[in-house]
Amino acid sequence: MKSVLFPAAAALILTAMPAVANDRYAERPPVVVSPDLSAPWLLQLGHKPGRVLLKNSRRAFPNEPDKPRASAHDNIRRLMGGADQVRTAAVAPQEKSAVRQGMNPVYLPQEVAYSGSEQPGTIIIDTVQNFLFLVEPGGKARRYGVGTGKPGFEWAGTHKVTRKAEWPDWRPPAEMIARERAKGRNLPAHMAGGPENPLGARALYLGSTLYRIHGTNQPWTIGQAVSSGCIRMRNEDVVELYERVGVGTKVVVM
């Protein structure tokens, strides 16, 4: 009897958690309980019903064909050969971690081919496909999944990393504070760095802009257009990138 009640109780507790009081981040996706009550339950990634994101067709790799984005559940089913029962124990450790975070594993770091003109050490951000590429020698690049600007907050340009910070403080710009106040939501003027900070574990500041490449305390938003213009990464990934690039690194946002 205990094995039947436990998943339902766990789902009830998770759904009772308070929502984030700031819509610059997407809401946590719903908990999906496996039909097999002895199997682990999963967080499934998905946009809000009815939400349509319209973006232009810029891509870091123009010769790469468009691919429909699968949900985390669909991607794991593919890895499992289409099995009806998805069991996280049969998935690679990083992919299991992504599923726990509610993130599509396609956005996990991986090595890819690169044939563009940018020099090794350059960061390229594709805001259509939601990938960040760190160009490497030998026609390769390290690819990471990112979250990008929501409709109305998209931008493109070339900058350099002007500053780096570990567990950065967050000071919302005046425009954001005013915008949220008009919606009846009050943002703090300052939030100290830490696990609950929206900027996450690391931040790379871009030129003299207000934009940053930074971590996040909401990894399930990776792969989506949900920010106010900043480029967000999983904390694990931004820590890795932080160690691999320095002040002065060229950043191309497409």
Q: pLDDT band for position 115 (50/70/90)?
A: very high
pLDDT digits (tens, 9 = 90+) for 148-203: 999 999 999 999 999 999 999 988 888 888 888 888 888 888 889 999 899 999 99
Catalytic residue among 73, 159, 190, 230: 230
Task: Give the global pTM.
Answer: 0.64
Catalytic residue among 47, 73, 159, 214: 214
Domains and CATH numbers, the chain: 2-253 (2.40.440.10)
Q: What is the secondary structure of the chain as a DSSP string?
A: -HHHHHHHHHHHHHHTSPPPS-TTSPPPPPEE--SSTTSPPEE---PPTT---------SSTTSPP-PPPPHHHHHHHHTTS-SS--GGGS-HHHHHHHHTT--GGGS-EEEE--SSPPTT-EEEETTTTEEEEEETTTEEEEEE-BEEPTT----EEEEEEEEEES--B---HHHHHHHHHTT----S-B-SSTTSTT-SEEEEETTSS-EEE--S-GGGTTSEEESS-EE--HHHHHHHHHH--TT-EEEE-
pLDDT digits (tens, 9 = 90+) for 191-249: 899 998 999 999 999 999 999 999 999 999 999 999 999 999 999 999 999 999 999 99
Does residue 214 carry a catalytic annotation?
Answer: yes
